[in-house]
Structure 1
C-alpha cells in the first residue's frame, strides 16, 4: 500500500482537486446528476460546480442533455492509463489467471482507496459469482476479504482512525456492522495472514483473501478467490483455496 504523502500548500492545485471531485461525484447509483446535486455531493457552491461541469463538458469528459450531466466514455481513458502503464496489474493478472483456472473459481486483486477496495485485476474462469469482480469496480473494505487483509496491514492507530470515519451499513443479514467486532476481525486477519468473509457483501458470495507483499514486507494489494455459497462451505473454501492462494502470493512476491 502506498505510503501517505503530503506536499506543501503552495504546491497543491486546488482546482485539479475540485475537478476530480466532480468526476467522482457520479457513480452507479447516480449516473445522471443536476448541477445542484453535483454541488451537494462535492461541497462546491452551485456557481463553482457549474464552471467545473461546463469545463469538463468542453473537454469531453462530461455530457449534458440540457437538464442533467453524465460522464462520457472519455473518462475511461483515465482508468485505461493506469491499467496500461501500472506495473502491479500486469504482474498480478497472469498469476490470477493461473489461480482461477487451477481452482475453476473466480479470483481478483484489489487495493485500498479510502473506504473502498478498487479491483485492479480479475478473472472468472467461467464462473460469474458477482458483478463486483471486474477491473475498476469498487466495494466497501469493511465487509470484504480483500479489504480486511489490506486494513490488517495498517498500524493499529490507522485502523482505529479508519473505523472512526466509517458508517457500517448492513448490506446483507450477515454483514458485520459492530465496530468492535470488525476491529477483532481485522486483528484476526493480521494474526493468521488471511481473511475469509461469508456473504457479508452479497448473499451467496463467499471469499478468502491473502495480502500481496513485496520483498521488503510492504503490502501492495490483496488477492482473493470467490465462490458461490451453494457450491462450497466456508470450511471447504479455506481447505481447498487457501493453499493455492498462498502459493500465488509467494510467486507474486518474487516479482514485486
Structure 2
C-alpha cells in the first residue's frame, strides 16, 4: 500500500509538472512502471477528482484547487494576500511570492507569476533551498541560531549554481546584513540569469516574507525600486488578519 501511494503521488506530480495533457504511455515511461499499473493509478486519481482525462491525455482535476484553498485556510492566509501579490505583479511587472517558516521548514504559500515556469522557478509548496533564495534568507535571518542550524542540517546547502553560498559561515555574514538592512538579495544563487529580492512582513505570527524575482539585467536597472515596492507590500500584508495569524514554531 505505501508503494501504491508513492506511485499515485508520482503520477500526480508528473501531470502537475507538465505544460499540457500527458498520455498514460508517457507517464509510464517517465515513471518507469508498467502501463497497467499507471492506468490503475490514473483511474483512482480520476475517480477522486484529482485528475481529468481528456482526448490528449491527463490534466489536473477540479479537486486540486480546493486542496490549495484548504492549505491556505489551514495556514490562515487570507485571500487579500493573494490579491495583493497579483496587484504587485501587475504594477511592478515582477513575479512575486509570499513565504513563511513553519515547523522546521520553509514554504512558499502563494505566488503571482506571469509565465510558467516562473522567473524564479519557485512553486507553491515546500522550499528546501532556503540558503540560496532571498525569501529563505529573510526567514533564516529571523530564526534563533539553533533553529537555523537545524534547518540547514536537514535541508543541506547544495550548490544550485556556481554562485550559491554553501558555507554556513558565509551565510551567517549575509544573514547579519539582512537583519541590519531589512532586505535580502540573491543574484544567480538559485537560477542563472535571475536575481531575487525579499523583505520581512512585520509583526507576523511566524517569520514571513514577500519576495520578487526578475531577470538579472532588470535587477541591475531597478532592483532598489522593487525592494521599496516590496516594503509597501509587506506593510499592507501585515494588516490582513490572515497574515497576522499565521502560526508556526521557530524553536530553538
Q: TM-score range by the shorter chain?
A: 0.5 to 0.7
- Counterpart in the other structure of 2:206: 219
- Give the TM-score of the pair, scaled to structure 1: 0.64
Q: Tell whether the 8 Å contact from 1:122 to 1:135 is kept in structure 2 after alignment.
A: no
Q: Which residue of 2 aligns with 1:49?
A: none
The aligned residue for residue 232 of structure 1 is 219
Mapped to 1, the partners of 2:177 and 2:6 lie a distance apart of 35
Other-structure match for 1:141: 130
RMSD, matched Cα: 4.1
Is 2:243 the counterpart of 1:254? no
The 1:221–1:75 alpha-carbon spacing in structure 2 relative to 1, beyond 3 Å, is farther
Q: Structure 2 vs 1, CA of residues 157 and 86 (structure 1 numbering), >3 Å: closer, same or farther?
A: closer
Q: Which runs of 5+ in 2 are unaligned?
A: 18-26, 34-40, 52-58, 245-252
TM-score of the two chains, using structure 2 as the length reference:
0.65
1:156 and 1:85, CA in 2 relative to 1: closer, same or farther beyond 3 A?
A: closer
Matches within 5 A, 1:178-197: 178-197=167-186
CA positional deviation for 1:159: 1.0
Q: Shift of the alpha carbon at 1:90?
A: 1.1
- Give the 3-state SS of the residue equivalent to 2:110 in structure 1: strand
Instruction: Give the superposition deviation at 1:59.
Output: 8.2
How far off its partner does 1:115 sit?
4.9
The Cα shift of 1:143 comes to 0.7
1:118 aligned residue: 108
How many angstroms does 1:197 deviate by?
0.6
- Larger RCO (CA under 8 A, 6+ residues apart): 2
Number of aligned residues: 214
Cα–Cα, structure 1 residues 143 and 131, in superposed 2: closer, same or farther, change >3 Å?
closer
How is 1:76-95 mapped onto 2 (pairs within 5 angstroms)?
A: 76=64, 77-83=66-72, 87-95=76-84
Give the distance between the partners of 1:128 and 1:24, measured in 2 at CA. Answer: 21
Find the counterpart in structure 1 of residue 249 from structure 2: none
> How far did 1:164 drift?
2.7
1:206 aligns with 2:191: no
